[in-house]
Amino acid sequence: VNMSSNVCVLCSRYTKLGYAGNTEPQFIIPSCIAIKESAKVGDQAQRRMMKGVDDLDFFIGDEAIDKPNYATKWPIRHGIVEDWDLMERFMEQVIFKYLRAEPEDHYFLLTEPPLNTPENREYTAEIMFESFNVPGLYIAVKEQKVTVSALL
């Protein structure tokens, strides 16, 4: 079975998305998400209790900027994921809307900052394997010059 690889370079301000072997990203979008705010800003516990329709009512990237009646959040700060609930929703849109991929049919290459904690790396892998059922994942340190086409 020949599975292609998707590449996601996740940064605090922008996320670059594309396909292994391409010379440049297919998309460069702001790393933000706009959600209906049913709780105070940053109150993850309250947001978890409001699961349901609000979970489906969100926007990412350029669509999330200045969205009326929505709170714009940045789940990554200084290169480190600070809000895992929002990050998972962000990745859902990245995979299905932008990359238009069935995650179980693609390998993924993600990036992380050099000082990322092992716990964050583990949680990233948990989301990708358990929530999206990816068959394979490689997490590269951003500062390493990874030749993505060599990973094919």
Judge contact between 125 and 91, C-beta under 8 A: no
Question: What percent of the chain is modeled with pLDDT above 70?
Answer: 80
Superfamily of domain 5-151: ATPase, nucleotide binding domain (3.30.420.40)
Closest by CA position to 142, among listed 14, 5, 3: 14
Position 113 confidence tier, pLDDT thresholds 50, 70, 90:
confident
- The structural domains of the chain, with segments of one domain joined by +, span 5-151
pLDDT at 148 over 60: no
Task: Please enumerate in sequence order all residues whose Cβ is within 8 A of that of 151, keeping only pairs 6 or more positions apart, or say none.
Answer: 5, 20, 109, 138
pTM of the full structure:
0.81
Per-residue pLDDT reduced to its tens digit, 30-66: 999 999 876 555 566 655 555 554 567 899 999 999 8
Per-residue pLDDT reduced to its tens digit, 66-81: 888 899 999 999 889 9
Closest by CA position to 88, among listed 117, 46, 116, 47: 47
Q: According to the 3-state scheme, what is the secondary structure of 3-42? A: CCEEEEEECCCEEEEEECCCCCCCEEEECCEEECCCCCCC
